[in-house]
Amino acid sequence: MRKWFSLLVLFALSGFGQEAVVTAKVLLSDGSQLVGAPQVPSLALDTILGRQVIPLEQVAALDFTPDGVRVTFANKDVLSGKPEGTAFALKTIFKDVRLAYPHIKAIHLSCRRGAAGQGMREPGLLLHAALNADNEDLSVFGASMEAKNVQIISSPQGGSAMLLGDATARVVILLPFSPYVMPEGTVEFWAMVPDPHRRFGNGGGQPWFFNFESPIDDSLTSHWIFGFCVNDGCGFGGLVGRKHGLTCTGTHSYGRVKNIAETGLLGDSPDGWHHYALIWKQDGVDFPGAKGAILVLTVDGKIVAASRQHMPAPAGQALDDPDMKVCLVIHDRNSDLSVPLAMADLKIWEHAKLPDVQRAE
């Protein structure tokens, strides 16, 4: 078994925590459907294992039968039993309701950390994908997500994260906006690479964090990238970033480092959780230490690379078509798909924003 499996125990030792907000979609036996916020944080269930109190943020679905309820967890575990009480309390847009269990066919739950209450009201937040369930509902942002062969793993303080553990794992988020036409913006997230000492692949194989692609323009496959490599083709290595038609930058010159740990960016915990951000602004940012930079990379809130030099904009509809369909892809075809990667709490902002974070302990 690969070494990285044994490293999963580190998930319980380091990470991030935000208040969980659970949304429920209730399907009733008469065909009605209600969406709202559960009025209780957990479900008490009488099972063959005894009485279990199950936090709703860990549940993906509840399927009701005449004999009880079947609970499907975010990590695909299943547990059956009889719920205590007689009804499910739900806060909807029109009133608070109590739905009797015999009238409920199924409940689908999604959990987002910081996206409601605080996050959803934050100006300029275009997308927040918690990446804590393979069926996460991103419709509130006008987006949709398809996750294939991913694993939902536990992270500290009761949260969850998404592990892309092998070459078959893939995440595609279809966006309702085109980052290509945005004059400025920020993509930030938490990530962990369980085996940071693994050598970059021959010929420049790399573990990208993400790539922006277009499902209708096959040529846009490596024009907007963020991740690690030995050589990005533009003279950079280490942690590198590139924005189509703007510029590229990296923490090292090509060939200088052969693995993630060797970059020195992750301190004494190269196999732990760290916060990453790619920030761009055509007119230049006003960040301390990077004033005038048009592309900035940060790790744990610290600027690690920046570029002030514009690249000539290549031809193509991506740069000037705001209606062009664009996807954010994790484990894209140009990445080294054999490298396991865990990610969570992905956000896209419509403005350049220097993250205020500290390294997870």
Among candidate residues 79, 111, 143, the one where a domain is terminated: 111
Residues 25 and 13 in one domain: no
Tens of pLDDT, residue by residue over 302-341, are 999 999 988 765 545 456 677 778 899 998 877 888 889 9
Do the beta carbons of residue 165 and residue 7 sit within 8 Å? no
Strand ranges of the sheet holding 104-113, from the earlier edge strand across to the other edge: 50-55, 42-47, 78-83, 68-73, 59-65, 104-113, 20-28, 33-38, 87-91, 96-100
Position 329 in a domain: yes
Q: What is the DSSP string of 250-298?
A: EEEETTS-SSTGGG-TTTT-TTS-EEEEEEEETT----TT-TT-SEEEE
Indicate if the pLDDT at residue 277 is higher than 60. Answer: yes
Helix (H, G, I), strand (E, B), or coil: what is residue 243? strand
Beta carbons of 300 and 358 less than 8 angstroms apart: yes
> Do 184 and 276 share a structural domain?
yes
| 9 and 25 housed in the same domain | no
Give me 129's structure tokens: 């994908």
Which of 94, 111, 128 lies at the terminal end of a domain, its last residue? 111
How far apart (Å, rounded) are the C-alpha atoms in residues 114 and 128?
9
Total of domains in the chain: 2
**Residue 7: what pLDDT?**
35
**73 lies in the same domain as 149:** no
Domain end, chosen from 53, 82, 111, is at 111
What does the pLDDT read at residue 359?
Answer: 52
Which pLDDT score is estimated for 217?
63
Give the lowest-confidence range in 132-146, 150-164, 168-182, 243-257: 150-164
Are both 97 and 134 inside the same structural domain? no
The dihedrals phi and psi of 103, each to the nearest 5 degrees, come to: -95, -5
Report the C-alpha gap between 206 and 228 in whole angstroms.
6
Q: What does the pLDDT read at residue 352?
A: 95
Q: Are residues 122 and 234 in the same domain?
A: yes
Q: What is the domain extent for residue 107?
A: 20-111
The predicted model gives 219-247 an average pLDDT of 81
Q: Do residues 177 and 264 touch, judged by C-beta distance below 8 A?
A: no
Predicted pLDDT of residue 74: 75
pLDDT at 285 over 80: yes
Q: One-letter amino acid identity for 234?
A: C
Helix (H, G, I), strand (E, B) or coil at 302: strand
Tokens in use for 349? 């902002």
Q: What are phi and psi of 203, to 5 degrees?
A: 75, 15
The reported pTM is 0.69
